[in-house]
Structure 1
Amino acid sequence: MNNIVSLKWLLARLYESDIVIVDCRFLMGKPDAGRELYEASHIAGAVYLDLEKDLSAPLDEDGHGGRHPLPDIFALTVALSRVGISNESRVVVYDDQGGAMASRLWWLLKYLGHEQVFVLDEGFTAWTNAGFPITAEQRVLIPSKYLATVQHTMLVEMAEVKELLGDERVTLIDSREAPRYRGEVEPLDKVAGHIPGAINRFWKDGLGESGAWKDADAQADRFADLDRDRELIVYCGSGVTATPNVIALQEAGFNKVRLYAGSWSDWISYSENPIATGDE
């Protein structure tokens, strides 16, 4: 599947009327930094959507839903409409975080039934280094109307994950770094470890040394030990960095892939849920 587009692909289509470019840069722990970076300089014509203000719901008081709960569908469609995204738009999303934030918007648009959405390979710094058009000017937003056709089968909730623990027809994939997966460190959440039975596939391993996405064959190599007939449930800390693994799995030809959007931060908000540490 073609979910990733090159810098030159976008350059050739930069001013086509149905293209909407979305800047998703965001720095964890510095919630205003992404917008400030956008306002200082961005790809010509790009609009900005914020991970926490636009692409997540407010935090639940009990911690349920995780650190980045899925946004309300209506609120999300309002945000998309506000920046000019319609059902007919070809949307190209980028960040400067290896595709993690951009992949969140990619997944959300797919979840809403939008097919024409792509992640820009390499990101903003590579675009700038290539000498391609950047600006500090913000385009005049012409609102559109976005109508969602929610693809419920792309999502899995905590109760179903718990019910499927130990089911041989399902593979859980933890997308965090190995030390967090093993429970050796936990910089963000209150409890360390992973969901019992999960295997570890760090999302950044989907990128090459240059920061570009690996091709379909290389992605397939990352997941060569997985049964293509099994259902795959992907999670991370808060449902953001799992989404690059969803893309990588699709690029590798896996079709039965769902996201546990609440992820680890949602799982541990239920004190009765089991926790594993070490390697599986």
Structure 2
Amino acid sequence: MIKQLQKKYVSRLLSCFMILSLIFIANGCSSSYTSAEKVHYIIEASAAIKMLNSEKVILVDAQIPDDYSKEHIKGARNIDKDEVNITTPVAGMLGPQELFEKIMSEKGISPDSTVLIYDKTNNSHSSRLWWAMRAYGHEDVKVVSGGLEALKKAGAEVSTEIPSITPTRYTAKDLNTSMIATKEDVIAQVNSPDKNTILLDVRTQKEYDEGTIPGSKLINYEDNNYTDKTFKSRQDIKIMYIENNIKPDNNIILFCKTSTRAAETYLALLEAGYKNIKIYDGAWLEWSADKSLPIQIKDTKNTDSNAAPANQDNS
């Protein structure tokens, strides 16, 4: 009995040592990893409030318009994430450059503006808008961890008043396609899996069991947050993903239903030092609508059922 306990204890110690070693290697031995860590895209509510006196700083509320009209931080202008998205052929996909420029201009944002975004949806809507802005080359944009509630707790004043906005003429950079995975990219991974590439489904367990892209791992995007809905620390994020055998040097393709929740995981991973990340923007809506594509479903016997290989004919 004592020997068994000793073995169990040693096993746990070794497991912890391996995880810490991987983190140390990522932090200490990879210049690209440490370089990525120096750029912070998540900001605490208290720090965000201190920045609001600057004319260069624009606070954006990413709630849906009805919720924004009921309560928002004083001075915040409203941008619903869907304002920069398209509805066809797949709802929720990032819209073209001219649409993005139109919305940014109407909201009084310039390419050199410092933009702080918050929401009340577990950081998901703000992360999606952040991702869209980053995809079109806006560098100085951050998400307020914990959103509206965190800002209120930190002392920010709330209001129902709509601020006046002076429009700008926003010119975006070309779309950064390295941040986006296409359906064809995902088909290629399903048909010929690359061991270093991970398809990561960030939806709920129920959604995952009802149907997912074959070979996908599941980590609910809400697991990136503490119970108060603020982002977990960078160290806690690293440990969680490494424990799930997702390492900083993996290529990661994220998706959910419309890739809103996927953007929250994208941000969490990027902040933790992961750099080879893409969002499958068509997401589950696009994949499941194509009847030629395989779907992995958890059957009643607690096993996975898979369809035939993905059809690569785009006709």
Correspondence for 1:170: 197
1: CA distance between counterparts of 2:150 and 2:198? 35
Mark the runs of 5 or more structure 1 residues left unpaired by the alignment: 26-33, 184-192
Q: Following TM superposition, by how much is the alpha carbon of 1:170 offset from its aligned partner in structure 2, in angstroms?
A: 1.2
1:125–1:277 CA distance, 2 compared to 1 (3 A): same
Tell me if structure 1 keeps the 8 A contact 2:49–2:151.
no
2: CA distance between counterparts of 1:51 and 1:119? 13
Q: Secondary structure at the match of 1:77?
A: helix
| Structure-to-structure mapping, 1:1-280, within 5 angstroms | 1=37, 2-25=40-63, 34-52=64-82, 54-60=83-89, 65=90, 67-149=91-173, 150-165=175-190, 166-183=193-210, 193-224=211-242, 225-278=245-298
- Report which of the two structures shows the higher radius of gyration computed on alpha carbons: 2
2: CA distance between counterparts of 1:275 and 1:21? 41
CA RMSD of aligned residues (A): 1.5
2: CA distance between counterparts of 1:6 and 1:252? 15
Q: Secondary structure at the match of 1:223?
A: helix
Tell me if structure 1 keeps the 8 A contact 2:46–2:154.
no
Q: Secondary structure at the match of 2:200?
A: strand
Q: Secondary structure at the match of 1:245?
A: helix
Q: Secondary structure at the match of 1:21?
A: strand
TM-score of the superposed pair, with normalisation by structure 1: 0.88
Q: Following TM superposition, by how much is the alpha carbon of 1:132 offset from its aligned partner in structure 2, in angstroms?
A: 1.7
AA paired with 1:198? S
User: How many residue pairs get matched?
Assistant: 257
Mark the runs of 5 or more structure 2 residues left unpaired by the alignment: 1-36, 305-315
AA paired with 2:49? L
Q: Following TM superposition, by how much is the alpha carbon of 1:125 offset from its aligned partner in structure 2, in angstroms?
A: 2.3
- Tell me which moved more, 96-105 or 166-175: 166-175
Choose between structure 1 and 2: higher helix proportion: 2
1: CA distance between counterparts of 2:138 and 2:161? 28
Which of the pair has the greater relative contact order for Cα pairs under 8 Å at 6+ separation? Answer: 1
Tell me if structure 1 keeps the 8 A contact 2:123–2:147.
yes
Q: Secondary structure at the match of 2:297?
A: coil
1: CA distance between counterparts of 2:165 and 2:188? 45
